[in-house]
Amino acid sequence: MGKKILIVEDETAIAELEKDYLELSGFEVAIASTGDVGLSRALKEDFNLVVLDLMLPGLDGFEICRQIREVKNIPILMVSAKKDDIDKIRGLGLGADDYMTKPFSPSELVARVKAHLARYERLIGSGVKENEIIEIRGIKIDKTARRVYINGEEKTFTTKEFDLLTFLAENPNHVFTKEELFQKIWDMESIGDIATVTVHIKKIREKIEVNTSKPQYIETIWGVGYRFKV
Ligand code: CA
């Protein structure tokens, strides 16, 4: 699927020319010929970039740019017939990413569209956080997705089992009393008591240990509590 570009332009000949060039470069292109339609489509649909003319029937480019920026950070390339307008747009700080004065060559437009899309992808790409993973021997805990894999095989955990296992694995070799664990994982208002901890530890062991009577991960420290052994 090609990237989607919205052209907001009331001069049909210009809009069609821009569309042809962008389509030849593999983009999907839509044209809106009034400000109102342009704004509504830009907000409702998933365009990757907007080419926005300044002087339009209905809402003008200034207002459209401002309103798109309130909700979206896609690149906006503003176009005007007057050099003075470009200076004005810059001065207003509306958040447009680029400005072009008409007439411009369609290939110049394509080059700028590509450059802004590439820059935007880099920004978005760098903003994506990797899942937070805890890996200890054969156990892999994906904290972000809340999934647990034992030797590559996914196991299902209840919310509290997951929280308890994760808490212990995040604090390896630290001995916690049942009271501490109960307080940490179940809040004070919870119904239950420290026996709940014992029950959950048992259930977790059934899922992660090869031999529950000889646990390799969560050790019982008699008379004290539990620890995750590394
Ligand atoms: Ca115009």
CATH architecture of the domain 133-228 equals: Orthogonal Bundle (1.10)
pLDDT for 49 equals 97
End-to-end CA distance of the chain: 47
Distance of CA 58 from the midpoint of ligand 1 (Å): 11
Residues 84-96, mean pLDDT to the nearest whole number = 74
Identify the top-confidence range among 20-34, 73-87, 118-132, 175-189: 20-34
Distance of CA 134 from the midpoint of ligand 1 (Å): 56
pLDDT-derived band at 218, boundaries 50, 70, 90: very high
What's at 215, amino acid-wise?
P
Distance of CA 104 from the midpoint of ligand 1 (Å): 14
Strands (E), 48-132: 49-53, 76-80, 98-101
Residues 106-132, mean pLDDT to the nearest whole number = 83
Question: In 3D, which of 16, 54, 49 has the Cα closest to residue 35?
Answer: 54
pLDDT-derived band at 208, boundaries 50, 70, 90: very high
Give, as residue ranges, everything with CB less than 5 Å from ion ligand 1: 10, 53, 55
Q: How many CB atoms lie within 10 A of CB 46?
A: 9
Q: Which of 12-16, 118-122, 178-182, 222-226 has the lowest mean pLDDT?
A: 118-122
Is residue 117 over pLDDT 90?
A: yes
Residues 82-101, mean pLDDT to the nearest whole number = 78
Distance of CA 80 from the midpoint of ligand 1 (Å): 7
Is residue 104 over pLDDT 70?
A: yes
Q: What is the pLDDT of residues 130-178, one digit of tens each?
A: 678 898 888 999 988 899 999 888 999 999 999 999 999 999 999 999 9
- What CATH code would you report for 4-125? 3.40.50.2300
pLDDT for 87 equals 73
- Secondary structure of residue 120 in the 3-state scheme: helix
| SS3 of 2-26 | CCEEEEECCCHHHHHHHHHHHHHCC
pLDDT for 127 equals 60
Distance of CA 82 from the midpoint of ligand 1 (Å): 10
Chain Cα centroid distance, residue 163: 24
DSSP state of 139: E
- What is the domain partition of the chain in residue ranges? 4-125, 133-228
